[in-house]
Chain A
């Protein structure tokens, strides 16, 4: 279609582009963005420390020290960039973010602790949050633990039940006949709607909450496992059948592995749903966990505690999602272009 000559200039251009990534070896030894970030953090530390607070805050000194520590750390990393080489590439990537973070933190500090521009109880200064972590870490940690136990317990039960149901109705049309209508009617109901009933029907609020989390997880996992199993290329079964595979092999070694990408979509959706049910269940029923902590903090108008708990919750949820992503990447590495070993 194209003559060799037509192709040549494009190829030459390609070559010069693909040469580019080979160059980082010649990158400047000193990491400029890192220096800027270090300067930003040190400046934020100085500002926090030198500018007197408008009100009494106990952890202003500690906050300034932490900011300074980050600044010094960045300074070292930036100066010694050449020494660490590859290990610093991740840090390099978040360089601009580090600068932005320092600026936002400094702005927040000025607007709250220093000038009190924002209405007091609702907007806690950074050291207010810090204080929660230094003074109330035991209760906060305990809440995280309770949340995790409840969440993981319910999620594992829900995921297992959803997966089993999904495989069953995807594989057996008799099971599908009976389960499908029930699933269609009951599945879309938000799990939280079951809350009053669950707390009444279960012996403890803990078991009721576990049930609700499991319920919220099970629906998306069931539907996506089912559609994954139902959507398996029929030719895969033909291949196995001509080689003497029995039903067991067809389910365990053909249908389920082929459905896994879809199952994981369900697992992700289930995890998201389980978070929101967890918080509601903790607020309404179980007197423990981060959801409860949030409500407790609100009751005392302790907004610093609330922000701290929100931050912890965000880290927890995002950590769990990351974990699930890792698991997927491990199990489904055949799906991507990645090489295994």
Chain B
């Protein structure tokens, strides 16, 4: 089972994701708090989709459902045609908080997935490669409390990439990075995505980031989140911040978010 799950991504086709009429709610102080309202979305294998929406609208919740950490109250989520039964290493999440284990070194944190599946010994190189990729080779033996916030987030990214996912779920993975590292990491993730061919679902607050990285941007409404619009980004990679088409798209998306007055 584990071996199969790991062997599958070698073929390097990203997963096709189907979210069909998914609604979800939480119980808050004994009352139902609707968070997602009939979300339907279909992504192609290898597609890079960004989820954009106001704070607290339910983006992280949707990601948790796709990861299989929780089951939706209504609706279905299919991965390559099969309903999600639970978490699976082919769908790895980079959480909003890095949540590195403070008792493990950076290297051992990155090796977490391999260790959980008992394959560290045969795949040690992959850990080192992933750390190299996020620029943390020199900190392999450091503990999380010795990292800066941005470094911790890069370590969390490495920890996810080690698993060779076919669907990478990114929950504001660059939120804590300084703007310079952020620009580098955006390009780095896109490059990685192009090379490995996984599908990616990126949650972000940053309109420009969504437009720079994703092939489609899903704009969500306030809680309970509904899909307001899906904006295709018809630009070739690598994209440039100064591109006039990008500015146009940004105005359009900001308008959808109700922020056009500020621009």
**Residue A239 at the B interface, CB < 8 A?**
yes
Docked complex Cα distance between A325 and B69 (Å) = 39
Minimum C-beta distance from B92 to chain A (A)? 6
* From B91, B101, B145, residue with most partner A Cβ within 10 Å: B101
In-complex Cβ contact of A241 among B87, B102, B141 (8 A): B87
Report the stretch among A17-25, A62-70, A100-108, A249-257 that lies at the interface.
A249-257
Residues in B whose Cβ lies below 8 Å from that of A253: 115-116
Given A235-B95, A239-B95, A337-B145, answer yes or no on A246-B101 (Cβ-Cβ < 8 Å): no
Determine whether A245 belongs to the interface, using a CB cutoff of 8 Å to chain B.
yes
Is the interface on chain A under 10, 10 to 19, 20 to 34, or 35 or more residues?
Answer: 20 to 34
Report chain B residues within 8 Å CB of A332.
103
Tell yes or no: A200 within 8 A of B by CB.
Answer: no
Is A260 at the interface (CB under 8 A from chain B)?
A: yes
Q: Does B89 contact A244, Cβ atoms closer than 8 Å?
A: yes
Within 8 A of B (CB), among A293-334: 332, 334
Q: Is the pair A334, B89 in contact by a Cβ cutoff of 8 Å?
A: no
Chain A residues with CB below 8 A from B112, complex form: 239-240, 243
Residue in chain A with minimal CB distance to B143:
A334
CB of B97 closer than 8 Å to a CB of A: yes
Which of chain A's residues have a CB closer than 8 A to the CB of B159?
239, 243
Does residue B88 face the partner (Cβ distance < 8 Å to A)? yes
Q: In the complex, what residues of A have CB within 8 A of residue B87's CB?
A: 241-244
Contact at A243–B97, with CB atoms within 8 Å?
A: no
A258 within 8 A of B: yes
Q: Which residues of B contact A240 (CB under 8 A)?
A: 112, 116
- Does any Cβ of A come within 8 Å of B113's Cβ? yes
A177 contacts partner chain B, Cβ-Cβ < 8 Å: no
If A337-B145, A340-B141 touch, whether A243 touches B103 (CB-CB below 8 Å) is no
With A242-B93, A244-B117, A334-B143 in contact, is A257–B99 under 8 Å at CB? Answer: no
Which residues on the A side are within 8 Å of B144 (C-beta)?
334
Residues of B within 8 A of A233 (CB): 99
Contact of B116 among A238, A246, A258, A335 (CB under 8 A): A246
- Asked if A2 is an interface residue, CB under 8 A from chain B, the answer is no
A57: chain B residues within 8 A (beta carbon): none
Residues of A within 8 A of B113 (CB): 243-244
Task: Count chain B CB atoms within 10 A of each CB in A233, A244, A257, A337 and give the residue with the most.
Answer: A244
Chain B, residues 79-110, CB within 8 Å of chain A (1/0): the string is 00000001111011101010101111000000
Residue of B nearest to A254 (CB): B101
Q: Which of B92, B97, B104, B146 contacts A235 (CB 8 A)?
A: B97
Instruction: Enumerate chain A residues within 8 angstroms of B261, measured Cβ to Cβ.
Output: none
**What is the bound-complex CA distance between A240 and B87, given in angstroms?**
10
Asked whether A244 lies within 8 Å of B116 as measured between CB atoms, the reply is yes
Q: Mark out the residues of chain A between 253 and 274 whose CB falls within 8 Å of any chain B CB in the assembled complex.
A: 253-254, 257-258, 260
Q: A235-B97, A236-B101 are in contact. Are A243 and B143 (CB under 8 A)?
A: no
Judge whether A178 is part of the interface by a CB distance below 8 angstroms. no
* CB proximity of B202 to chain A, nearest CB, Å: 16
With the chains together, A337 CA to B102 CA distance in Å? 12
Which residues of chain A have C-beta atoms less than 8 A from B180's C-beta?
A: none
Q: Is A84 an interface residue (CB 8 A)?
A: no
Partner of B102, one of A235, A238, A244, A335: A335
Complex alpha-carbon distance, A24 and B200, angstroms? 58
CA distance A258 to B103 in the complex (A): 7
Of B2, B112, B115, the most chain A CB neighbours within 10 A belong to B112
CB distance from B157 to the nearest CB of A (A): 13
Query: In the assembled complex, how far is the CB of residue B12 from the closest CB belonging to chain A, in whole angstroms?
Result: 19
Contact yes or no, B115 A239, CB < 8 A: no
10 interchain pairs, CB-CB under 8 A: A235-B99, A238-B93, A240-B112, A241-B69, A244-B5, A244-B117, A253-B115, A258-B101, A334-B104, A339-B146
User: Using a CB–CB distance below 8 Å, which chain B residues touch chain A?
Assistant: 2, 5, 64, 67-69, 86-89, 91-93, 95, 97, 99, 101-104, 112-113, 115-117, 141, 143-146, 159, 163
Closest A-B pairs by Cβ, 3 of them: A243-B113, A245-B116, A244-B89
Besides A242-B87, A243-B87, A334-B104, 14 other A-B contacts (C-beta < 8 A): A238-B64, A239-B95, A241-B87, A242-B67, A242-B92, A243-B92, A243-B159, A244-B5, A244-B88, A244-B163, A245-B116, A257-B104, A332-B103, A335-B103
